[in-house]
Amino acid sequence: MIKVHYFGIIAEAAACEQESISLGEIGLQSLISDLKEKHQLDSYEFQIAVNRKIIQDPSTIQLENGDEVAFLPAFSGG
pLDDT at 15: 97
Residue 76 has pLDDT above 60, yes or no: yes
- Percent of the chain topping pLDDT 90: 87
Task: Please give the Cα distance from 21 to 16 (Å, whole number).
Answer: 13
pLDDT interval class at 74 (50, 70, 90): confident
- Give the separation between CA 67 and CA 77, rounded to whole angstroms: 30
Whether this prediction's pTM lies above 0.85 is answered by yes
**Structural domains of the chain, with CATH:** 2-70 (3.10.20.30)
pLDDT single digits (tens) 25-60? 789 999 999 999 999 999 999 999 999 999 999 999
In 3D space, the residue among 5, 25, 9 whose CA is nearest the CA of residue 69 turns out to be: 5
